[in-house]
Amino acid sequence: PTPIIIDCDPGHDDAIAILLALAHPEQLEIRGITTVGGNQILDKITDNALKVLSFVNADIPVAKGAVGPLLGKLVTGAEAHGESGMDGPALPASKFKPVDQGAVEFMLDIIRSSEEKITLVPMAPLTNIALLITAYPEVKERIEKISLMGGGLAYGNVTVTAEFNIYVDPEAARIVYESGIPIVMSGLDVTDQAAIFEDEILELKRRGPVSVMVGELLDFYSIYGKKMGYVGNALHDPCAVAWLLHPELFESQHLYVTVETEGKLTRGMTVADRRKKPDRAANTEVLLGIDREAFMKLLFDSLDRLDGE
């Protein structure tokens, strides 16, 4: 299996992404999970990660990372994700605790001690990853690739041009995009196509306990989606995991992408060079299309697996 570290801020869609990865141990070996302030403050989202793991009895080490962005103050996604950061299902208290190490040292140890290169799967502001590769640039060579959820070439969701994970910490995102580590970008271009609809959520709630829990997460998550004018609920973060499992479900383009940190209208925008003759070599595989039906089947089957069916 591919050794991965998931960096997250659960977050409804983060929780679903973690479950998706957990369902495929023959393909993905989750060496650890790191958390970062994003959808809610660090303590809340870390507790959410631990609760999700407890719910499916997965004793995977969780390390707490940055409370907020490299510069400025944390802007949370509380409007979409609620007071707890993962409102909806009444999950039992966690059986697990975070490790004593901070996220950066935790990732560093895993990467250094691993025989194989590690794949990072960030689905939150990129603060932890930027801190890691800035403090220990030598680890870049030991990172196989970064499959991340963040950005969008066509539009944003916090501002006209910026997607939440990039918007919260544009400086960190820029460091990561310009790091030279190969990136696979699940941005809004593809994640908005990876939407789950009401009838599918109802179906989840007729299945086993893990599927039901995901259905309840999505019930809450869809409230804000509806308010913002969406019919389906974009499963943003699961795309970054689904690509690792089944890259053939996606259409993509290799492009040079970086992040605008200064523009008045464009701070936090992922900017791609789509010219016929770009100035620089591509650093990112940008996912632009998905076979939604096949992705849904993957999700349902994965949750069934966790439900033991």
Which of 81, 236, 246, 254 is catalytic? The answer is 236
Q: Choose the one of Ca ion, ligand BDR, none that binds residue 80, judging by a C-beta under 5 to 8 angstroms depending on kind.
A: ligand BDR
What DSSP letter does each residue of 221-237 carry, written as one string? HHHHHHHTT-SSEE-HH
Binders of Ca ion in range 12-41 (CB under 5 A):
14
CB of residue 308 to Ca ion, shortest distance in Å:
27
273: how many CB neighbours lie within 10 A of its CB? 15
CA-nearest of 253, 262, 249 to 291 is: 249
CB of residue 124 to ligand BDR, shortest distance in Å:
6
Residue 216 interacting with Ca ion (CB under 5 A): no
CB nearer to ligand BDR: pick between 164 and 250? 164
CA distance 40 to 247: 30
Q: Choose the one of Ca ion, ligand BDR, none that binds residue 77, judging by a C-beta under 5 to 8 angstroms depending on kind.
A: ligand BDR
DSSP secondary structure code for residue 125 in this structure: -
CB nearer to ligand BDR: pick between 139 and 193? 193
Residue 149 interacting with ligand BDR (CB under 6 A): yes
Quick check: is 12 catalytic?
Answer: no
Which range binds ligand BDR by CB under 6 A, 65-73, 127-135, 156-164, 208-216?
A: 156-164
| Residue in 2, 161, 165, 252 binding ligand BDR, rule: CB under 6 A | 165
CB nearer to ligand BDR: pick between 106 and 164? 164
CA distance 80 to 77: 6
Site size toward ligand BDR, by CB under 6 A: 15
| Residue in 7, 87, 163, 169 binding ligand BDR, rule: CB under 6 A | 163
Which residues have a Cβ under 8 Å from the Cβ of 15 and sit 6 or more positions away?
Answer: 48, 49, 52, 86, 214, 217
Instruction: Check: CB of residue 167 under 8 Å from CB of residue 180.
Output: no
Q: By CB neighbour count within 10 A (0-12 exposed, 13-18 middle, 19+ buried), where does 220 fall?
A: middle
CB nearer to Ca ion: pick between 38 and 256? 38
Cis amide bond preceding 65, omega within 30: no
| Residue in 80, 133, 244, 255 binding ligand BDR, rule: CB under 6 A | 80
Which range binds ligand BDR by CB under 6 A, 86-94, 128-136, 160-168, 211-219?
A: 160-168
Residue 11 interacting with ligand BDR (CB under 6 A): yes
CA distance 188 to 166: 11
Binders of ligand BDR in range 117-146 (CB under 6 A):
123-124
CB of residue 211 to ligand BDR, shortest distance in Å:
20
Which residues have a Cβ under 8 Å from the Cβ of 240 and sit 6 or more positions away?
Answer: 17, 121, 122, 123, 147, 148, 149, 184, 186
CB of residue 190 to Ca ion, shortest distance in Å:
15
CA distance 169 to 164: 9
Residue 243 interacting with ligand BDR (CB under 6 A): no
Q: Where are the beta strands (DSSP E) in 167-249?
A: 183-186, 195-196, 233-234
Residue 123 interacting with Ca ion (CB under 5 A): yes
52: how many CB neighbours lie within 10 A of its CB? 28
Binders of ligand BDR in range 219-238 (CB under 6 A):
236-237
CA distance 283 to 257: 7
Point out which residues bind Ca ion (CB under 5 A): 9, 11, 14, 123-124, 237
Residues with active-site annotation:
236
